[in-house]
Amino acid sequence: MSRPTLHLVDASLYVFRAWHSMPDQWHDADGWPVNAVHGFARFLLELLERERPQHIVVAFDEALDSCFRNTLYPQYKANRPPAPEELKRQFAYVKALCQALGLHTLGHSEYEADDLIGSALHAVRPQGFRGVVVSADKDLSQLLGEHDEQYDFGRGQRWGSDGVKARHGVHAHQIADYLALAGDAIDNIPGVSGIGAKSAAVLLAHFGDLDTLIARVDEVAFLRLRGAAQMAGRLREQREHALLWRQLTTVALDAPLPEGAAPFARQTADAGMLTTLAEGVGFGPMTRRRLHAAAGIEWTIPVGSA
């Protein structure tokens, strides 16, 4: 018997991709660009048309400087420039578009999209759901259980928990430890100095997890691994840092979720809101027709429209 599926969309990834790839040729009534809205709408429509999800959440990053990880480590993601105002405004349009289509949206001032995705998936597991995580982000691979999938929509690639090792050199349940050891430049997490991706993978293959590695650190020097003695010394010196990095790389499963929202079944679309949005950002007739079809709402191309 097939399991019910919850699709979990990492919205910010696809908004940023649209912002960088779509030409700046669309503007709202106030003259602000809406190219990312157009690009995200194309992605979302293709996803809905291909997958036809009955249960779906779309998670947004709203904890830009206020995430609990910033409290633990103020330099977390400090290497990233703030989003320009022209892009911030478009996130509001994108979120409203998802809501108009009857999709559940998640955002929180203290938790990132990854945490909201992890918590939503964790919430529906007792009901027998499997998850399809729509994102290329390797951090999210740690969420994959036996029946789950990760879907890199842009490349059309899917993999389950068994496929994580072929992609990253470690198993799904080791991703957080792996990033804690090797570091993650994208999120400004240093990792343990002198330990790179290959070394981290070898250490985890031998010891299984970070806790065991730290407990048996004296054995590291005897491994057939270049620089093993130096690694053992650094692991002793940077033990507390390594544990802190793991707090940063571990996806939270206890982020607050809207009461009664799980299992996040699609809701009735808001035709009026959808029409207003389409007019406000200048969607063409073809996009409007597809949006209404995805929402299950009949729509006729107005007379005189191209």
CATH number, domain of 238, equals 1.10.150.20
Say yes or no: 280 and 244 in one domain: no
pLDDT at 301 over 80: no
Q: What residues make up the domain containing 239?
A: 172-249
The angle formed by the CA atoms of residues 260, 263 and 267, to the nearest 5 degrees, is 80
> Are 95 and 130 in a shared domain?
yes
**In what helix (H) or strand (E) does residue 125 lie, and over which residues does it extend?**
none
Q: Do 163 and 55 belong to one domain?
A: yes
Give tens-digit pLDDT for 262-297. 999 999 999 999 999 999 999 999 999 999 999 998
Residue 304 lies in a domain: no
Q: 65: pLDDT confidence band, cut at 50, 70 and 90?
A: confident
- Let me know whether 161 and 178 are in one domain: no
**Max Cα–Cα distance, the chain, nearest Å:** 78
**Residue 102 and residue 261 in contact, taking contact as beta carbons nearer than 8 Å:** no
The token pair that represents 93 in the structure block: 């349009």
* Confidence (pLDDT) at 306: 43
Q: Are residues 226 and 109 part of one domain?
A: no
Q: Using the 8-state DSSP alphabet, how is residue 103 labeled?
A: -
The per-residue pLDDT for 299 is: 67
Confidence at residue 107, expressed as pLDDT on a 0 to 100 scale: 96
Count the domains in the chain: 2
Instruction: Look at residue 306 and tell me if it is in a domain.
Output: no
137: amino acid identity, one letter: D
Percentage of residues in the chain having pLDDT higher than 70? 97
Average pLDDT, the chain: 95
Rounded to an integer, the average pLDDT of 172-184 is 98
pLDDT digit string, tens, across residues 187-230: 999 999 999 999 999 999 999 999 999 999 999 999 989 999 99
User: How many percent of the chain have pLDDT more than 90?
Assistant: 91
Q: In the chain, at which residue ranges do the beta strands (DSSP E only) sit?
A: 5-10, 56-59, 104-106, 130-134, 149-152, 157-159
Question: What is the model's pLDDT at position 300?
Answer: 64
Is residue 219 included in any domain, yes or no?
Answer: yes
Indicate whether 59 and 147 sit together in one domain: yes
CATH of the domain at 38: 3.40.50.1010
Locus of tokens 């010394």? 233
The verdict on 142 and 206 lying in the same domain is no
Q: Looking at the structure, tell me whether residues 160 and 17 fall in a common domain.
A: yes
Q: What is the pLDDT of residue 302?
A: 57
